Structure 1
């Protein structure tokens, strides 16, 4: 279902997403991969400019960390928040697929990755880091390491493919189950964390 009447800008965007530059067939896989890699490079550069470390500064890089201590929180390859990023990616896929059902999957993936990159940059700005620490979320937060941030976008990409495989109904059910599990286990979640930031809880 289309959510708005088409205009010239929508038509141009649709043409680019469905036929590629110059209208010569759908966007190439190589172009989409290049856009995703470029977006992640921009995120890494932004975090570096914010003073974020490449890897945890005070302990060895681990595949998984469940610690909410300042030296470990959002510093390793994966953590409990990785599940929230999977949910975020799944939700973005459902949104983009509902808005632009005629777009090829690779174009939708580019939009989802760009959405993740924008969030990773915003999340690591000093004002947002301070905002997170002013809420009642568990642990202390000093921003992501660059490796953790890139891993977050990888989790968003995983969520994209899971939602594409399951469809929106099964994705919604799975998201509810995961959200409840996160709230019970770490007293946080995608919905709960958003409500905290907005000051609703």
Structure 2
């Protein structure tokens, strides 16, 4: 396929994921009626509703990790198809993350007691953030990609007491001590 085909397929994949989320009843954008570039408070009703928030960092890390995993698993596959595979995985996660089952799991296993899913706008932004991470990993030396992933994880941990690592851990194996620590003093 021509190189220009991959971005078009990626756009169609993002639009399909957005359409599925709308069909699932997800809000198109924040119920507050305002679209903001950044939602700073992780425990606010605007978290996961605006274009970006502290969890956007974890989606950049997704891209860094997907690039590494696909470079190892499919080293002969050109970059465009690998990016499309990564985007398909991210889109599938965004759809699953906004299912009732996962939303309920977040509420019971993590500190996200008032989480009610992402807006479609936030979900699309998360997919684009993953692509940013993938693009960075394709251009940076591996050691710098690793440092970037660790730095983003540590930044989120320091600011909101959460990150991709803890998010996955708490979804799969909730630990009361971590939940208590994340809740803060």
| TM-score, with length taken from structure 1 | 0.82
Instruction: Determine helix, strand or coil for the equivalent of 1:29.
Output: coil
2:52 matches 1:78: yes
Confirm or deny: 8 A CA contact 1:59 1:71 kept in the other structure.
Answer: no
Give me the whole-angstrom Cα distance separating, in 1, the residues matched to 2:15 and 2:21: 10
How far has the Cα of 1:137 moved from its partner? 3.0
**Aligned ranges 1:113-192 → 2 under 5 Å:** 113-138=87-112, 140-192=114-166
Root-mean-square deviation (Å): 1.5
Compare 116-125 and 36-45 and name the one that shifted more: 36-45
How far has the Cα of 1:93 moved from its partner? 0.5
Per-residue CA deviation, residues 2-21 of structure 1 (Å, 9 max, x unaligned), is xxxxxxxxxxxxxxxxxxxx
State the partner residue of 1:45.
19
Instruction: Determine helix, strand or coil for the equivalent of 1:53.
Output: coil
2:63 matches 1:89: yes
Runs of 5+ unmatched residues, structure 1: 1-26
Runs of 5+ unmatched residues, structure 2: 176-185
Per-residue CA deviation, residues 142-182 of structure 1 (Å, 9 max, x unaligned), is 11111110000010000001111113322112211221121
Bigger CA radius of gyration: 1
Moved over 3 A (4+): none
Count residues with an aligned counterpart. 175
2:18 matches 1:29: no
How far has the Cα of 1:138 moved from its partner? 4.7
How far has the Cα of 1:49 moved from its partner? 1.4
| TM-score, with length taken from structure 2 | 0.89
How far has the Cα of 1:84 moved from its partner? 0.5
How far has the Cα of 1:125 moved from its partner? 0.5
